[in-house]
């Protein structure tokens, strides 16, 4: 139970656009440990709004990969629950209600900027790492006549108007005390011109309805937090506690990708025969939860889990890390 008497609830919410890789697995493991160590409930939610990127076969594979790793959940697409459906592509009615509420408040406005217009904003102040330059507010002050004229040429997206005078502060469970200016990222899209609801709105709407109290996700989403805090405030809902897990980097210091070798769980399992316990132990060592590499199940880490021990903002794979996983390199106690 949380200190306010509310039951602790967390989630992991992968996007089924690719196979689960080591970075995703680290975040899922830490999110699971945070909630299970508090005796809480976990939701599995598929963030599959972008149907061009998301594949049904990958949506079916993701739960199996998580189970193979040793993780479980209390609610999700495969087990159901009181907050179904647990696929974002099936939750558009919920998002439309939230959009209607924000429109009534006057917090949204239509944006007619093209991709070229937005690329031209590259000379604008830097915005969020995850989303590029700050939007300069081009369409925020258009008159009704100007909007009508532009609507003849382009279907608009919808943007949320940030309070540029606000400062959003929160105590991140891994990053510590954090603050962002409301002007930092500019006004942001909540519904794209093609009608697809954007990540920022969907994730807040889902976390509110699913009564999520704790969100642990990747470090790359840290600077999305002020936008989501602004949405929680506008919707009159208390935000969850946030924690942002370290990014996995290759030995060259760049973000982990295919060029660093076999980074998906399925490839490590099928091509190299790596056991799930080896991966869990390796991830626990990378995150700072163990001082050496050993074979572990996620349940072995619950009793001693300490969020304060998790490294931030990144963890770097050593050279020949696949040899560590396959047992060819015995130098680190595998």
- The domain spanning residue 103 has which CATH number? 3.40.50.620
Query: Which pLDDT score is estimated for 332?
Result: 47
For the chain, what percentages of helix, strand and coil (3-state, to nearest 5) are there? 40, 20, 45
User: Can you read off the two tokens belonging to residue 46?
Assistant: 């598929």
Query: Which pLDDT score is estimated for 260?
Result: 67
**CA separation for the pair 78, 74 (Å, rounded):** 10
Shared domain for 40 and 169, answered yes or no, is no
Residues in contact with 134: Cβ distance below 8 Å, sequence separation at least 6, in sequence order: 121, 124, 125, 126, 127, 128, 183, 184, 185, 186
Shared domain for 232 and 318, answered yes or no, is no
- Model confidence band, residue 127 (pLDDT cutoffs 50, 70, 90): low
59-68, 128-137, 267-276, 317-326: least confident range = 128-137
**CB-CB neighbours of 251 under 10 Å:** 12
Residues in contact with 100: Cβ distance below 8 Å, sequence separation at least 6, in sequence order: none
Report if residue 269 sits inside a domain.
yes
Shared domain for 68 and 141, answered yes or no, is no
Element (H, E) at 189: strand 188-191
CA–CA distances in Å: residue 10 to residues 40, 216, 262: 7, 8, 29
pTM of full prediction above 0.85: yes
Would you call 310 helix, strand, or coil by DSSP? Answer: coil
Shared domain for 59 and 21, answered yes or no, is yes
Which residue, among 46, 45, 43, 47, has the nearest Cα to 35 in the 3D structure?
43
Query: Which pLDDT score is estimated for 123?
Result: 52
Report if residue 333 sits inside a domain.
no
Tens-digit pLDDT profile for residues 235-259: 999 999 999 999 999 888 888 876 7
**Locate tokens 């939230």: which residue?**
98
Report if residue 98 sits inside a domain.
yes
Total domains in the chain come to 2
Listed in sequence order, the DSSP H helices in the chain are 22-36, 56-69, 92-105, 115-120, 144-151, 199-209, 225-234, 265-272, 276-287, 321-326
The average pLDDT across 255-280 equals: 85
Report if residue 331 sits inside a domain.
no
With contact defined as beta carbons under 8 Å apart, do 225 and 184 qualify? no
DSSP characters over 203-233: HHHHHHHTT--EEEEEGGGGGGHHHHHHHHH
- Model confidence band, residue 185 (pLDDT cutoffs 50, 70, 90): confident
Shared domain for 74 and 31, answered yes or no, is yes
Shared domain for 147 and 192, answered yes or no, is yes
User: Can you read off the two tokens belonging to residue 14?
Assistant: 């992968």
Q: What are phi and psi of 245, to 5 degrees?
A: -80, 155
Report if residue 18 sits inside a domain.
yes
Using the predicted structure, report yes or no on whether residue 119 has a pLDDT greater than 90: no
Report if residue 300 sits inside a domain.
yes
Using the predicted structure, report yes or no on whether residue 134 has a pLDDT greater than 50: yes
Shared domain for 28 and 85, answered yes or no, is yes
- 3-state SS string for 136-172: CCCCCCCCHHHHHHHHCCCCCEEEECCCCCCEEEEEE
Which residue, among 96, 87, 84, 94, has the nearest Cα to 195 in the 3D structure?
96
**Whether 258 is catalytic:** yes
Shared domain for 124 and 228, answered yes or no, is yes
**CA separation for the pair 254, 21 (Å, rounded):** 16
Shared domain for 231 and 252, answered yes or no, is no
Shared domain for 149 and 238, answered yes or no, is yes
The average pLDDT across 46-73 equals: 92
Query: Which pLDDT score is estimated for 325?
Result: 81
DSSP 130: T
Query: Which pLDDT score is estimated for 318?
Result: 84
Catalytic one among 258, 297, 328, 330?
Answer: 258
Using the predicted structure, report yes or no on whether residue 328 has a pLDDT greater than 80: no
Shared domain for 34 and 176, answered yes or no, is no
Would you call 302 helix, strand, or coil by DSSP? Answer: coil
Domain that holds residue 321: 9-89+246-326
Report if residue 332 sits inside a domain.
no
The average pLDDT across 148-176 equals: 96
């Amino acid at each position: 139970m949380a200190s306010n008497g509310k039951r602790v609830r967390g989630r992991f919410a992968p996007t089924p656009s690719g196979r689960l890789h080591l970075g995703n697995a680290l975040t899922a493991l830490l999110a699971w440990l945070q909630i299970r160590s508090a005796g809480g409930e976990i939701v599995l939610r598929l963030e599959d709004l972008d149907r061009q990127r998301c594949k049904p076969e990958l949506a079916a594979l993701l739960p199996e990969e998580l189970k193979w790793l040793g993780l479980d959940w209390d609610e999700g697409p495969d087990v159901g629950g009181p907050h179904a459906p647990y696929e974002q592509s099936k939750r558009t009615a919920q998002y439309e209600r939230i959009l209607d509420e924000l429109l009534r408040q006057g917090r949204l406005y239509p944006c007619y900027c093209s991709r070229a217009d937005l690329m031209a904003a590259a000379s604008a102040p830097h915005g969020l790492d995850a989303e590029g330059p700050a939007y300069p507010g081009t369409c925020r002050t258009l008159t009704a006549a100007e909007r009508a004229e532009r609507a003849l040429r382009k279907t608009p997206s919808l943007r949320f108007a940030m309070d540029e005078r606000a400062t959003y502060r929160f105590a991140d469970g891994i990053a510590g005390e954090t603050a962002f200016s409301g002007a930092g990222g500019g006004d942001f899209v909540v519904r794209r011109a093609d009608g697809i609801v954007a990540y920022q709105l969907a994730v807040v709407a889902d976390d509110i309805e699913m009564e999520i109290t704790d969100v642990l996700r990747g470090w790359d989403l840290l600077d999305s937090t002020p936008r989501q805090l602004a949405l929680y405030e506008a919707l009159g809902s208390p935000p969850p506690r946030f924690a942002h897990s370290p990014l996995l980097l290759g030995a060259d210091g760049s973000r982990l990708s295919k060029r660093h070798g076999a980074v998906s769980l399925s490839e490590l399992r099928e091509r190299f025969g790596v056991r799930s316990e080896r991966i869990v132990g390796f991830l626990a060592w990378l995150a700072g939860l163990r001082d050496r590499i050993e074979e572990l199940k996620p349940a072995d880490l619950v009793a001693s889990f300490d969020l304060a021990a998790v490294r931030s903002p990144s963890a770097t794979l050593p050279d020949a890390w696949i040899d560590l996983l396959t047992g060819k390199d015995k130098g680190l106690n595998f």
